[in-house]
Chains A and B, each alone.
Chain A
Amino acid sequence: MPLLKCEHVSKRFGGMVAVDDVSFEIMSGELMAIVGPNGAGKTTMFNLINGVFLPDEGHIWFAGVDVTRFPSYKRAHLGMGRTFQIPRPFASATVQENIAIGAMFGAAGGELNVEEAMEVADEYIDLIGLKAHRNKPAGGLTPIEKKLVEIARALAMKPRLLLMDEAMAGMNPKDIDQMVTFIRHIRDVEGIAVVAMVEHIMRAVAGLAERVMVMHQGAKLVDEPTREALNDPRVIEVYLGRQAEEFNAKG
């Protein structure tokens, strides 16, 4: 049984169709990337999976439950974690408190009290290597540290699926490689399925994902294993092709 299943999901804003009849599945422990140029509907798709928006048509199942009309927090209780494109840690809370909030209210939340959640948070602080900042307000961290706090906060929720919105935007190649290793590591150790949304960093896609879904103008273009997807003529046509042409023209 798939962990996440989207069936004919559509979302319109006014006259514009942001997501157009998209269906796909994700298995437990899978690493998948949703790729597409700006405006392809990736963020809307994320928001639909996550419950920030409700779809106009179609159904979404998560962990065997029909979550189509569920608010975000109920999806989180079922084990869906998320990070944002621009990291949004709770600025006045300390790093430890931020992560503890994830542990307190996420999928693990039912049983944990504040003290237990703080202990869980300490484990994740070690994992992301921010022990020195444990008691500092998250608002004062660097963007990359904020991103790490946000990922740790999502992991502390004990999710079965982690949605990462542009996890590597604005990073240099070295940081990207580290992040890819880190994401693979959490998948391998904790068995979490990860869906990463990537706009244009193909280096990250190739290293990270086992499967790629390419979106174009709101619809699903291809959904294939990474190697095939990146060599698919349709993908090259709408997405990579343009970059390749530009590259060739310059070269």
Chain B
Amino acid sequence: MRGSGKYLPIVPVLAAYALLLLYGLAAPGKWQLVAQLAFYCALGQAFNLFMGMTGYVDFGYVAFLGVGTYGMAVTISSLSDGGLGLGIILIGFLAAAVFSTILAMAVGAVALRLRGAYFAIATIGVNEGFRYLIEGARIWNGADGIIFSRHLKTALGRKMAMTVSTFWADIFVFGVAVLAAVLTLYYLRNKVGYALLALREDEDAAKVMGIDVTRYKIIAFITSAALAGLLGASGWALKLTYVYPPDVFEIHYTVEAIIIVLLGGAGTLMGPIAGGLIYGVSKYFLAITLPGFQLLIFAPIIIAIIVIFPEGLVGILKGKVHGTSLEKFVI
């Protein structure tokens, strides 16, 4: 892994996303499916940056997507008369990242001091807690949510607003997915990744080796949260042009993130892509043939993976290609 070959695994990742995008553009009527798959890959990749790399589960993860959605919604609904043009979307993304980073710092300040199970307990109510804060204190229009399709049209014009929510929002999701993959690989190949590997394996031993574990946990937590914020801003806010608290703080998205990461292989670069594609495609077909049964079928599969194949698909593949020339592409 020395020298220029260090970042080679990004090649298959980019190829996978490029193929997916091309398929969506070329095959008629498949754009929604492709957009959904990109969303799941991005979700998995962002979630993996924390759960996969540190071995801590954040059951309140969807809260970061939720506040990101609000970041975009609040920006567009309040600045639509400012004549900012497309700049408003940039500001919206910025706000999304800032909102989720702030929430991550607040939650992390308490939760990241805790180990193992206590961390999970601290995070399990974050999404519910934040939802009820918004509803209870009537922040950002409280339980009514924010509908900003009108504002988006004011800011960008009718036609552009339409294109943004039907096409560019999905392209941004691809962007988030690629960004998350690049960051994952960068972390894996640098000191951050080795620090996270060490603390995931044995936190006490990691400290003794001179690793400031809290610092690296915070880095992973905030990166993962900020990416979730961007994902919420693109995949939800821009696409749907409304925010409704019970929807964006729904714990099922955390469940989906867990499934995707475990399916593909926690802590790997390509796992979340494999997991996202498999989960997305199966969910798509299950939704057609057996609507409402996805979780009933996926929940026992999570258990089966944990008990029988804890390393996930890419983990198994990594074992298979070990010592071959393909090794440097698969991580």
CB neighbours of A84 from chain B (8 A): 205
B28 within 8 A of A: no
**A93 CA to B208 CA, complexed, in Å:** 17
CB neighbors of B among A41-83 (8 A): 50-52, 71-73, 76-77, 81-82
Residue contact B197 to A114, C-beta cutoff 8 Å: no
* B contacts with A, residue count (CB < 8 A): 23
Q: Mark B1-21, 1 if CB is under 8 A from A, else 0.
A: 111000000000000000000
CB neighbours of B3 from chain A (8 A): 115
B138 within 8 A of A: no
Nearest chain B CB to A98 CB, angstrom units: 9
**A157 CA to B201 CA, complexed, in Å:** 19
**A75 CA to B34 CA, complexed, in Å:** 51
Residue contact B209 to A52, C-beta cutoff 8 Å: no
Q: A105 is contacted by which of B202, B204, B209 (Cβ under 8 Å)?
A: B209
Residue contact A92 to B194, C-beta cutoff 8 Å: no
Q: A88 is contacted by which of B189, B202, B212 (Cβ under 8 Å)?
A: B202
Residue contact B209 to A76, C-beta cutoff 8 Å: yes
Query: CB-nearest residue of chain B relative to A91?
Result: B201
Instruction: Known A52-B204, A114-B190; judge A101-B198 contact (CB<8 A).
Output: yes
Residue contact A100 to B2, C-beta cutoff 8 Å: no
Residue contact B205 to A106, C-beta cutoff 8 Å: no
**A194 CA to B243 CA, complexed, in Å:** 62
A97 within 8 A of B: yes
Q: Mark A113-142, 1 if CB is under 8 A from B, else 0.
A: 111001000000000000000010000000
A147 within 8 A of B: no
A90 within 8 A of B: yes
CB neighbours of B207 from chain A (8 A): 51-52, 71-73, 76
Nearest chain B CB to A135 CB, angstrom units: 8
Contacts across chains A and B counted by CB atoms under 8 Å: 79
B210 within 8 A of A: yes
CB neighbours of B201 from chain A (8 A): 90-93
Residue contact A93 to B197, C-beta cutoff 8 Å: yes
Residue contact B197 to A90, C-beta cutoff 8 Å: yes
B150 within 8 A of A: no
Nearest chain A CB to B301 CB, angstrom units: 23
**A77 CA to B208 CA, complexed, in Å:** 10
B195 within 8 A of A: yes
Residue contact B209 to A153, C-beta cutoff 8 Å: yes
**A82 CA to B206 CA, complexed, in Å:** 11
Q: A114 is contacted by which of B194, B198, B202, B210 (Cβ under 8 Å)?
A: B194
B191 within 8 A of A: yes
B213 within 8 A of A: yes
Residue contact A72 to B197, C-beta cutoff 8 Å: no
**A135 CA to B321 CA, complexed, in Å:** 13
CB neighbours of A104 from chain B (8 A): 191, 194-195
Question: CB within 8 Å of A: which residues of B?
Answer: 1-3, 189-191, 194-195, 197-198, 201-202, 204-213, 323
Leading 3 A-B pairs by shortest Cβ distance: A76-B210, A90-B201, A105-B210
A-B contact pairs, 15 of them (CB 8 A): A73-B212, A81-B208, A82-B208, A88-B204, A90-B197, A90-B201, A93-B194, A97-B194, A101-B195, A105-B211, A106-B210, A113-B191, A115-B3, A118-B1, A135-B323
